[in-house]
Chain A
Amino acid sequence: MSGLLGGAPVTPEEQRRNNGHRHGWVLAVLGVLFVYLYCFTHIDRRLGLPAPQDLAERMGIRVDHVFDSDRNVDSEIHVSYNAETYSNDDERMVLFLGVGVAFVLVYYLPVAWKRQALLAVTVVLAVVLYGWAGIALFVAAHMGVYLILHPGLGPRPGYAALAGFLAGSAMVSKSGGMLAVMYGTLWAAMGAAFYRFVVLPGLGVPRLASVLRVVAVQSAMIVVFAGAILNGLGGGEWSLPLGVMLFFWNWERLMMYHIDHQDGLVPEDIPLDRYLGVFLSPGTIPNWNWGVTIGQGYAYVENNFLAEDKNHLIRKGLQLYGVALVYIVFGDWGHEWLVKFLRSQDLYVFHRVKNLSRYFANGGEVSTPTVLLTTFIDVFRWMVLWGGVVHFKVGTWLVCGYKCDPYFNRPWMATNLVTLWSRFTFHYREFLVRAFYYPAFFAMPKVARSVRIVLSTLAAATFGNFVWGHMSEAFFYKRIRFESLLDILPTWPYFVLIGVGISVSELWLLRKKRLRRKPWTLDKWLPLDVLAAYGTLQFYGLIHVFFYRHDGGSTWNDTRLFLIGFGIHL
């Protein structure tokens, strides 16, 4: 767990030492990216190669749930929120080629230029994939945060003008170039004046400054909650422009950045490009809204760049790319195979927990094995799908020179819920711990340690996870409507149960005498590891009956389904 607490700062000398070239690794990365291009895009047509499915069939391989209708491999890696300009396959082609260009540049450029190059390539890539207006608004929003967190004169009023220009021109970009320039110029002047004569004096008042900083960092939450409540009071429905949507998906990492800022870890005079580099890296582009906490805040990104020999990092990145490929190609196939196999053994399972919930809510009867197996294999389905995408994202951070911890680390090896949390969603867990656990933990030093631990865990795993983790996502996925809030509220038992489960595991870990024996050692205790891992995963799977619930169902119905998992039929 090298990145626990974000890692220690790395010196420029260490970075230079870790920058030795080995061209073989470059070829290996480009080779693996070509495999991705071949499997998941239409590059076979451009190069006159057989399609992946044709090639597989020529080799006598015929499998279901691997290929899609255009005869290449079905993929969960995609470019989110953009279905206007390209097909998914075209977008992926741009993405993989862009990652390749970024990698070659970051590998061969001098250390001083590497991160600027990553930022530049990411911006170009984002412009190609999302359009100029989307990224202009995204960058303008981040510049606003930068100017509030790091106020001053010098170039900053100029940055305010640039942010105004980007925002103003992006908003009328569809009306033509000349109007966009005029509108942008007007906004640039207003932006610079507003910053110089309103924001800067406001930031000079300590209390107002801290309010402004919180508003900037929490803007996503403020907007979606205000919009939903106004909608509930009879107002219209707010829709977000693409650039704002992309910016809002950075809300958790913005909070991490703000925590680093409060802890004095961010230099006050940080240049704009270094700030933007925290949020714009090639690893953020694929599945923009998945694993959004990868990269965390400033300290993690800063302390982990070239913190290890870049060729070692590439080796780790290639391993993740390889595992991601297996998960993405065979995940669906494995899930379908499991369902068919269990059904052939007269064990009825549903494909998804949602289907099970719907069937039960409509009066169907289900057995304990059905509940346990369905919830268990649905966790497997989601883990493989999720693991494939986040491995690709972390792999991209690694090959680009960041010593980034895997987001997903064989969660089926977890023998308790604390370890599962860490193995399943490492960076998200770090967000919840830093943003909610530690503040609660250090706010009550005088209470009994078990109470302190339980309340801190509930603050993170239940409250933070529910409100900041999932409630806001519900608005982004289901639109900013009051109904979205009503849809997510009944899932509260899931968050309470996971918080209670993790609390109990933590207390047990703290009280039991730690053993020299590591889990999964080949000895007589191995069956206990298997049992503990099964119990952990099964509990985690089972509580999803409260999360993937039937829309018309009730909490009582979900509870009955949950209890059937324990053999209790009410």
Chain B
Amino acid sequence: MADPADISRRIGEFFEAEFPRSDAVLTDTTDLLRDWLVDSAGIVSTTLFLESEFGIQMRRADINAVHFQSIRSLTAYVVGRLANPRGK
């Protein structure tokens, strides 16, 4: 069973390492699209990270503002995908 707290921590570490910011603090609820990611290359690199780190397979429809809103929403997405790899 995936531990949401662990998933959240690993996603947070990824953002801190890949998109470091000295002028803002990253929390579980930081608006990633507005305040953290800078471009679509950031979305692609996050997608690659989620696929390799958690062994999930993402689909085009999963790339949306609801999932990428915050670390919390990305964690919920990963937890859901791990529980139901083929589901919608």
Interface of A toward B, CB cutoff 8 Å: 1-2, 4-9, 262-265, 299, 303, 418-419, 422, 429-430, 433-434, 437-439, 441-442, 445, 449, 453, 506, 509-510, 514-516
The residues of B that contact A422 with a CB separation of less than 8 Å are 39-40
Q: With contacts A442-B59, A506-B41 known, what are 13 further pairs, Cβ within 8 A?
A: A6-B65, A8-B65, A263-B61, A263-B64, A418-B40, A430-B40, A433-B40, A439-B60, A510-B41, A510-B44, A510-B48, A514-B19, A514-B20
Q: Does B22 contact A (CB under 8 A)?
A: yes
- Nearest residue, chain B, Cβ from A263: B61
Contacts A429-B40, A509-B41; A442 near B33 (Cβ below 8 A): no
Contacts A419-B39, A438-B63, A514-B20; A5 near B44 (Cβ below 8 A): no
- Nearest residue, chain B, Cβ from A439: B60
Q: Does B30 contact A (CB under 8 A)?
A: no
Q: Does B53 contact A (CB under 8 A)?
A: no
How far is B35's CA from A2's CA once the two chains are assembled, in angstroms? 8
- Nearest residue, chain B, Cβ from A429: B40
The residues of B that contact A506 with a CB separation of less than 8 Å are 41, 44
How far is B19's CA from A506's CA once the two chains are assembled, in angstroms? 15
Question: Interface code B31-44, partner A: CB below 8 Å = 1, 0 otherwise?
Answer: 00110011111011
Q: Quick check: A5 and B65 within 8 Å, CB to CB?
A: yes
The residues of A that contact B34 with a CB separation of less than 8 Å are 1-2
Taking a contact as CB atoms closer than 8 A, the residue among B45, B57, B60, B68 that contacts A438 in the complex is: B60
How far is B45's CA from A2's CA once the two chains are assembled, in angstroms? 18
The residues of B that contact A433 with a CB separation of less than 8 Å are 40
The residues of A that contact B64 with a CB separation of less than 8 Å are 5-6, 263, 265, 299
- Nearest residue, chain A, Cβ from B69: A8
Name 30 interchain pairs, CB-CB below 8 A, sorted by A: A1-B33, A1-B37, A1-B38, A1-B39, A2-B34, A4-B40, A7-B33, A8-B66, A263-B60, A263-B61, A263-B64, A264-B61, A265-B64, A299-B65, A303-B65, A418-B40, A422-B39, A429-B40, A433-B40, A434-B60, A441-B44, A442-B59, A449-B48, A506-B44, A510-B44, A510-B45, A514-B18, A514-B20, A515-B20, A516-B21
How far is B45's CA from A1's CA once the two chains are assembled, in angstroms? 17
- Nearest residue, chain A, Cβ from B38: A1
The residues of B that contact A4 with a CB separation of less than 8 Å are 33, 37, 39-40, 43, 65, 68
Q: How far is the CB of B72 from chain A (nearest CB, A)?
A: 13
Contacts A2-B33, A2-B34, A516-B20; A418 near B39 (Cβ below 8 A): yes
Interface of B toward A, CB cutoff 8 Å: 17-22, 33-34, 37-41, 43-45, 47-48, 51, 57-61, 63-66, 68-69
The residues of A that contact B63 with a CB separation of less than 8 Å are 5, 438
Taking a contact as CB atoms closer than 8 A, the residue among A7, A441, A514 that contacts B65 in the complex is: A7
The residues of B that contact A419 with a CB separation of less than 8 Å are 39
Q: How far is the CB of A140 from chain B (nearest CB, A)?
A: 31
The residues of B that contact A2 with a CB separation of less than 8 Å are 33-34
Q: How far is the CB of A565 from chain B (nearest CB, A)?
A: 27
How far is B65's CA from A262's CA once the two chains are assembled, in angstroms? 16
Q: How far is the CB of A533 from chain B (nearest CB, A)?
A: 16
The residues of B that contact A303 with a CB separation of less than 8 Å are 65
The residues of A that contact B66 with a CB separation of less than 8 Å are 8-9
The residues of A that contact B61 with a CB separation of less than 8 Å are 262-264
Q: Quick check: B44 and A453 within 8 Å, CB to CB?
A: yes
Q: Quick check: A445 and B68 within 8 Å, CB to CB?
A: no
The residues of A that contact B37 with a CB separation of less than 8 Å are 1, 4
How far is B40's CA from A430's CA once the two chains are assembled, in angstroms? 9
The residues of A that contact B68 with a CB separation of less than 8 Å are 4-5
The residues of B that contact A429 with a CB separation of less than 8 Å are 40
The residues of B that contact A437 with a CB separation of less than 8 Å are 40
The residues of B that contact A430 with a CB separation of less than 8 Å are 40
Taking a contact as CB atoms closer than 8 A, the residue among A264, A418, A442, A510 that contacts B58 in the complex is: A442
- Nearest residue, chain B, Cβ from A449: B48
How far is B42's CA from A506's CA once the two chains are assembled, in angstroms? 10
Q: How far is the CB of A170 from chain B (nearest CB, A)?
A: 37
Q: Quick check: B41 and A516 within 8 Å, CB to CB?
A: no
How far is B69's CA from A433's CA once the two chains are assembled, in angstroms? 19
Q: How far is the CB of B25 from chain A (nearest CB, A)?
A: 13
- Nearest residue, chain A, Cβ from B73: A8
Contacts A439-B60, A445-B51; A5 near B33 (Cβ below 8 A): yes
The residues of A that contact B39 with a CB separation of less than 8 Å are 1, 4, 418-419, 422
Q: How far is the CB of B66 from chain A (nearest CB, A)?
A: 6
Please indicate which of the listed interface residues B18, B34, B39, B66 has the most CB atoms of chain A within 10 Å of its own CB.
B39
How far is B21's CA from A6's CA once the two chains are assembled, in angstroms? 23
Q: Quick check: A516 and B22 within 8 Å, CB to CB?
A: yes
